Structure 1
C-alpha cells in the first residue's frame, strides 16, 4: 500500500527546505515566484494536496468553531421545530462572531464518543433533552468548554442553561383549570429511554429524564389546585413523533371519560394532536382544548393558533455561544423565564 505523500517529499523533489515548502502553502507571499512555482509543480507531480488543515488548526490552539451535540440522529436538527429555532439562535450568534458550526450526532454510543473526540472545535453545546448525563460524561473527556442545555442534573460544576419546567407546566395547567376543565390527559415526552405508552403516577417519580418528570408534576399540581385528583389524570409516554402521539391520543379518547383538554408536553406533539383531532371530526377548542410547550413559530401559525408555554429558545442558543467563546473557566448556570401564551386552541369545555 503506497504511503501518503508528505510535505518533506515535496520539498525534496523541489530541492528546497521543508520550511520553504511550508511557506509556499501557508505564506506564499514571502516566497520568490520561481521557487513557489517549482514547489507547486513538484506537489502536482507527486499528487500532494496540501498540508492537513486539522494539524494547522490544532497547532494554533483555537479553531473558532463550536460543536452542537445530540444523541438523536442528525435529522433531528432539521426535523424538530424546537431544534430548528435553537439552531437559528446559535447560527446567528456564531455568524456575528465569525465562528463556524459542527453538528455532532449519533444514536450509537461508540460512534457518538468518536464524533465528540474527533470534532475540531473550541467547545460544545450539548442538547440534553435526552441522554444528558451521557453527553456530559463523553464531552468532559475532551477537556474543552461545554454548555449543557436543558440538563436534568443541577451540577454546579457544569455550565448550563435551562428553564423551570415545573413552573411552566403548572401555569398552563392552571389556565385550563381556570377555564373549567377537570378531565385532562397528559401526552408526555419520554420518562426513560425505551418505553412508551400509558404510565402510572408511581412511574413518574422514577423517571430517568427529570425534565419530563418536572413537567408532569407541574401539570398535576396545577390541576390539583382545582380539585383534580392526580391519580385520575391519564399520562401517556411518547417519542414526540406522529406514530406514538397518535397512539397516545387513540388511548385517551377510548377511555370511558375522554378528556376535554390535552396537555401536550411539546408544541410538536400538540400540533400532531390538532391534526389527529381534526381527522376524527373533533373541533378545537369547541370539543377539545389543546396546549403545548416550547413556543415554536409553527404554534402561532397553526389552526387554531396554539396556546403554549414559550421558552426563550433562540436566546438559549445565543447565550450558549457566548459562554463558549467567552469561556473563563468559571461554570455558569442560567435559568431563563418562560411565558404563558394564550391563543385560540383553548376555551371552556362544552356545557
Structure 2
C-alpha cells in the first residue's frame, strides 16, 4: 500500500478491530484494552499510518480554538513595532487564559495575503489595519468568520472595531502644549492614504481614507484655533508611520522660515525618531523644541528625554479584541477606550 494513502479503515481491517476501536486507540486510548491498543498502534506503524488528521477533527467540531491576527504589513511588524508588541501581550494573555491558539497572518504582497487569510485555520480574526486596511477588511469578510479591527482608521459602522477616542486625545495633546505657551506648531502625521509621504495641505485631510489620522488633526486644530493659532499656517507632514519618513518630516519642519517650537506627533514611534533627529541637528528637547507623542509604548518612558504622550490602554485593546472573537454573537460591536495624558520631560514652555 502506497505511503500516504493509508486510511484508518485500512488499519482497523489489518488489526482485526472495528474502525471505531481503531479511532479510539488514537484519540481515546483510555477506553481501549492495552493489548488491543498496542496491536492497533503496531499495525498503524507497520502500514505507515501516523494518525487521524487533526484539521479534519477540528473542522468537524466547528471550532479550531485559534484566533488569526492579521496585518497587511510584513510579518516583522508584529515583532518590530512597539505598539503591536504590547497589543500582542494583551492578546496572548487572554488566549492563554482560554487555552486558545494564535495564528499570525501577513504577506509581502496582496496575492499572498489573500491566500494566507483564506487558508488560515482559525475561528476569527483580529485585524491590525495600519496600512492596506480596506483590502484587509475585504479579504477577511470573504471568510465569513467573526473579525474585529484595531487601529481601523476607516469610518465603517458595519465593522466591529476597538480603538480609542482619537479626537479627545488629540485635543488634550494640543491643549497641553498651548498651556505651556507654544504658538508655532508642526504635525507629524500617521498615513492619510496608503504608500505616500510628504507635506499635506489641510484641505486634503478631510478626504483621507484613515479616520484616525483625520480625527487627530481635527482635535489638534480645534484647540489651536480656540487659542488663536492660525491653523492654515500649521505644517502637516504625512509619514508612513516609521522612522525614515519621521526624520524627513523633521528636516522639512526645520527648513521652514518659522520652524515650530512644538511638534504634535501622532505616534510615539514617530516622536522618538523626531527627538533623535532634532538632537542630531543640534537642537535640544524640550528647550528648543517640545515633542508630544501618542500611544504610551514602554520605550517612551526610557528615552532621553522621556516622552510626554497620550497613553492608550494598549494591552487592554488586545484583551478586548480576543474577548470580541471568543464571545462573538453575530452583532457589530464598536468599543472606544479613553486615553490619558502622561507628562514627562519632552515638553516645556518655549524659550523667550
TM above 0.5, one fold?
Answer: yes
Q: Secondary structure at the match of 1:141?
A: helix
1:151-171 deviation line (CA, Å, top 9, x unaligned): 234444332211121221122
Query: Is the 1:189–1:237 contact (alpha carbons within 8 Å) kept by the matching residues of 2?
Result: yes
C-alpha distance in 1, partners of 2:20/2:114?
Answer: 36
Structure 1 residues 318-337: aligned runs within 5 Å:
318-337=319-338
2:125 pairs with 1:124: yes
C-alpha distance in 2, partners of 1:46/1:222?
Answer: 75
2:31 pairs with 1:33: no
Query: Is the 2:152–2:210 contact (alpha carbons within 8 Å) kept by the matching residues of 1?
Result: no
Query: Is the 2:154–2:210 contact (alpha carbons within 8 Å) kept by the matching residues of 1?
Result: no
C-alpha distance in 2, partners of 1:10/1:177?
Answer: 77
Q: CA deviation at 1:2?
A: 6.6
2:94 pairs with 1:109: no
Query: Is the 1:174–1:225 contact (alpha carbons within 8 Å) kept by the matching residues of 2?
Result: no
Query: Is the 2:153–2:213 contact (alpha carbons within 8 Å) kept by the matching residues of 1?
Result: no
Give the TM-score normalised by the residue count of structure 1.
Answer: 0.94
Query: Is the 1:102–1:119 contact (alpha carbons within 8 Å) kept by the matching residues of 2?
Result: yes
Q: CA deviation at 1:185?
A: 1.0
1:125-176 deviation line (CA, Å, top 9, x unaligned): 1122333332222222222222122323444433221112122112211211
2:147 pairs with 1:146: yes
Structure 1 residues 244-283: aligned runs within 5 Å:
244-283=245-284
C-alpha distance in 1, partners of 2:5/2:340?
Answer: 58
Q: Secondary structure at the match of 2:288?
A: coil
Q: CA deviation at 1:3?
A: 5.3
Task: Tell me the equivalent position of 1:164.
Answer: 165
Give the TM-score normalised by the residue count of structure 2.
Answer: 0.94
1:261-286 deviation line (CA, Å, top 9, x unaligned): 11111001111112112222211111
Task: Tell me the equivalent position of 1:181.
Answer: 182
C-alpha distance in 2, partners of 1:7/1:129?
Answer: 46
Task: Tell me the equivalent position of 1:206.
Answer: 207
Q: CA deviation at 1:35?
A: 2.5
2:71 pairs with 1:70: yes
Question: Residues 281 and 164 of structure 1: is their aligned pair in 2 closer, same or farther, counting only changes over 3 Å?
Answer: same
1:191-218 deviation line (CA, Å, top 9, x unaligned): 1112111111122122121111211222
C-alpha distance in 1, partners of 2:284/2:153?
Answer: 36
RMSD: 1.8
Equivalenced residues, count: 351
C-alpha distance in 2, partners of 1:4/1:177?
Answer: 73
- Any stretches of 5+ residues in structure 1 without a counterpart? none
